[in-house]
Structure 1
Amino acid sequence: MPQPALRRLLTVVATVAVAAVAFYLLFRWQRFFDLRIYISAEKWWLSGGELYDFAQPDALQGKLYFTYPPFAALLMTPLGLLPLGASFALLTAGTLAAVAVTTWWVTGGLARLTDSPRWYAFGLALPLILLIEPIRTTLSFGQINMYLVALILLDLLVLLPRNSRFTGVGIGLAAAIKLTPALFIVYLLLCRRTRATVTAAGTAIGATLLAALIAPTATREFWFASLWDTTRVGRTDYTANQSLNGLLSRLSAPEPPDTALWLGLAVGVAVVGLWRATLAARGGDELTGLALTGLTAGLISPITWVHHMYWFVPAIIALVCAGIAAREGRRWWLWVSAAAAYLVCVIGVDTVVDWGVAQRPTPGVREFLLRNAFVLLSLALVLLLPVPRTQNRRVPADGADSGETFIVVSAPDRDDQPKNGPIVRSVAES
């Protein structure tokens, strides 16, 4: 084996070993808590109960309900039929596969920028991504977030660069399973991707109508009653809620936050986040565009649990890419920012504070920072993540008909580009 390849292999092995030890030390086993709720709700439904009447008592939040749309419930039906252990194993294996596949997609441009083999960028990134708290809690609680992430990234990093007519199907399905990904349909619209927008919206509507045909009672109950009952989704002041609403709820506890204040902040963040995401996409940086959209969705949602916050991953990779393209002085600031953001993602919220509800307004700066770490990091990235001003460019590759889209990775200022011109990378190499 050539020396460079051997060094890379040893580096990957060392990274895996260190990440494995850290994962073991930081992991908090929640016994598939959320997955057990899904399974119990499905069994209740299959036995003749009304899906949205299911309620599981909870010591902290009173009662916990099935809160996903009926289309998601239909997809989860096998959970009510399989043995418990089989459900645990299948969901975990699927989540790990989704993390691996999405890591392959988001590291393609990074490999090209660093002139490294694709396997090397993937091998370094995968254990580091598995280590962050959003992924740890997804595995621990038995959540479905990575399936939704995979659908969205399939559209934006695989199908879109190939100009596939199926672009938008993944986002549409994700929006039908859970409402928050619908913001990506708005992102497509603002980026003037008309066909993808229509496909995504049509898929979401079609999946919802299909669920209505199969489960009309559950559909009527969800869209006309359960969706609007804010008590069903959990306490907004719960520490694990890392949205703007969660931050405001902890500041005003035990009283609810001012609704007008929250809506005003949410609208402002949505406008800024989507504006910057659109600029990034039009500048050719799809990774930054989708990261900003995902972070914005998390901030403006009434409840965003820590396991929803995968979008730190593409944001941090975008920071690293911007650092590679920046001039020497600015480069280190971008890389230090990426390292600091990653450290926050690893330490997270659950590791350092309890997950209880707020009995009083958050006391002191230290506790405020700890209990709102992901909210503050999301805000910082939405406002400060470098967005290229360079127009989208297509660069001939080996095989010009491959449909692969290349983008210019650069810091916002033209002076940040290397002396030999802008660095060009592929959005997603396959």
Structure 2
Amino acid sequence: MRWGTAVGVCVVAGIVLPMLWQHSLVDLKVYRLGGSTLLDDASALYDARLAGLPFTYPPFAAIVMVPFALVPWPVAVTVWTVGTFLSLVAVWRMSVRLSSALLLAVIAGSLLLEPVRETLGFGQINLMLCALILYDVLDARHARRGLWIGIAAGIKLTPLVFLGLLVVTRQWRALAHASAGFAVTVLAGFLVSPHAATQYWTSLVSDTTRIGGLAFAGNQSWNAFLIRLTGNLEGGGAIWLALVAVTVAGGLWLSRFLWVRGDHLAGISVCALVGLLCSPVSWSHHWVWVIPLGVSLLRSCHGRRRIVVGIAWFGLFTIAPIWWPPNHDNRELDWSFGDQFLGNAYLIAALFAVVVLAVSRQRVSAPHSVATSCHVA
């Protein structure tokens, strides 16, 4: 019966996913642009454009992308897509223990989640980084635990938020490894291209105009919410900074609370949520953390409530109501109250998750490999 269900889910996903896949791996093309520019003229890394799109990542990310720039496009696409899919499998395996049939079903079904299918469609790196960070934080068996967080942050800055988790849970050795790993990525960038690295770390790192329209519906962050609400394209200003401060303080407190309680997965997921909410730009495909966060929510519920919450949570990120109101060309600035409610659905779901996890009394036993190896005061 379980295998029959799993096969049925795979068939449905195989039929529906191509209908929703509307992209041409444009971000992978930009990644390759970074790698090829580094080989041709490293100093021009942040001047190169692909159909108007610039390379917006740290110099170390371009170094990582060099192998994908050297191989033919079909090979790069195949390796990248397979790597993304294997990362999705790893995220599920590290988040929850399931039988083989159920694991196959949830993996196939999660391909329809909007953040996942957007990551696949754009050729984004989000699932790879998510899997890497989960492994680094949850598995204490490797000697340099924390190192991969630093390397992930060197590729894409958002993983820096997990240094906050290491601080509030007093995992000093892992923090040292993460900091050293990040420092090495920064140094590598300066060694390969001093000009590009100086340009990035002195000016481009804070330039959100290179990333895209901040008001766009796909930007699910506090900053975007305030922009759409007020109509001020300059950003949320002082209100946004205050909201960020409250979110960081409250989010890291909850992350520590969940970690100490034994729910390490929830602690990591809430920390990721802090990064998503507080970043000036959090595109919908950055929200792949809804998988471990959703698993954490289900663990905190019981009986029929668990079924309702599971359907509501994963259903929301499948139908993706953020795309229902008018979007593109700053039409988001004219949203009605109903449009605001739908268009900021990911933010509302995040608040729901925080409340549920904060009030839950469910205590989760920490995995042996982490519980016996991490110092948490």
User: Does the pair score TM above 0.5?
Assistant: yes
Larger Rg: 1
Q: Residue 335 of structure 2 aligns to a residue in which SS?
A: coil
Question: After superposition, what is the alpha-carbon deviation per residue over 1:292-345, rounded to whole angstroms, capped at 9, x for unaligned?
Answer: 11111100000001111011111111122222xx4xxxx433431232111110
Partner of residue 279 from structure 1, selected from 231, 248, 257: 257
1:371 aligned to 2:360? no
In the alignment, the residues of structure 1 paired with residue 305 and residue 330 of structure 2 have an alpha-carbon distance, to the nearest angstrom, of 36
**How much has 1:370 moved relative to structure 2?**
2.4
- Structure 2: 5+ residue runs without aligned partners? 373-377
Q: Which residue of 1 aligns with 2:155?
A: 177
| In the alignment, structure 1 residue 75 sits paired with structure 2 residue 88 | no
Using a 3 Å threshold, how does the CA distance of structure 1 residues 40 and 403 change in structure 2: closer, same or farther? closer
Hey, what's the Cα distance between the residues in 1 that align with 2:348 and 2:211? Answer: 22
TM normalised by structure 2 equals: 0.91
Matches of 1:269 and 1:337, distance apart in 2:
24
1:181-192 residue pairs with structure 2 within 5 A?
A: 181-192=159-170
Question: Is 1:296 paired with 2:274?
Answer: yes
Shift of 1:169: 1.4
Checking the alignment, whether the CA contact within 8 Å between 2:217 and 2:323 is kept in structure 1 is no
- Equivalences for residues 214-229 of structure 1 within 5 A: 214-229=192-207
Report the Cα offset of residue 153 of structure 1: 0.8
RMSD of aligned C-alpha atoms? 2.3
* 1:383 counterpart residue number: 355
Q: Structure 1 CA distance, aligned partners of 2:305 and 2:195?
A: 55
Select the residue among 105, 109, 115 that pairs with 1:134: 115
Distance 1:241 1:361 in 2: 13
2:37 corresponds to 1:44: yes
**Alignment partners' CA distance in 2, 1:122 and 1:177:** 29
- Share of identical aligned residues, percent? 30
Match for 2:44: what amino acid? E
Say if 2:241 is the partner of 1:247: no
Which of the residues 42, 65, 85 maps onto 2:74?
Answer: 85
Using the alignment, how far apart are the partners of 2:365 and 2:36 within structure 1? 52
Runs of at least 5 residues in structure 1 that lack an aligned partner in the other structure: 1-6, 58-62, 112-116, 396-401, 407-430
Q: Which residue of 1 aligns with 2:136?
A: 155
Q: 1:43 to 1:349 in 2, by over 3 A?
A: farther
Aligned to 1:103: 92
Rounded to whole Å, the distance in 2 between the matches of 1:64 and 1:244 is 24
Structure (1/2) with the larger helix percentage: 2
The answer to whether the aligner puts 1:23 opposite 2:36 as a matched pair is: no
| CA deviation after TM superposition for structure 1 residue 86, in Å | 1.8
Alignment counterpart, residue 244 of structure 2, candidates 262, 266, 275: 266
- Equivalent residue runs for 1:189-228 within 5 Å: 189-228=167-206
Moved more, 380-389 or 166-175: 380-389
1:214-271 CA-partner distances (Å, limit 9, x unpaired): 2222211110121122321222111111111111111233643441011111111111
Quote the residue 1:347 is aligned against.
319
Q: Quick one: distance in 1 between partners of 2:359 and 2:151?
A: 28
What residue identity is the alignment partner of 1:20? G
Match of 2:47 in 1: 53
Q: 1:106 to 1:333 in 2, by over 3 A?
A: same
Whole-Å separation in 2 of the counterparts to 1:355 and 1:36: 25
Return closer, same or farther for 1:88/1:349 CA change in 2, 3 Å cut-off: farther
Question: Following TM superposition, where does structure 1 have runs of at least 4 consecutive aligned residues deviating by more than 4 angstroms?
Answer: 386-395
Q: How far 1:391 sits from its partner (Å)? A: 7.2
* Count of aligned pairs between the two proteins: 371
> In the TM superposition, what is the alpha-carbon distance from 1:52 to its structure 2 partner?
0.9
**For residues 83 and 13 of structure 2, what CA distance do their matches in structure 1 show?**
21
Tell me if structure 1 keeps the 8 A contact 2:116–2:285.
Answer: yes
- Within a 5 Å distance, the mapping from 1:301-312 to structure 2 comes to 301-312=279-290
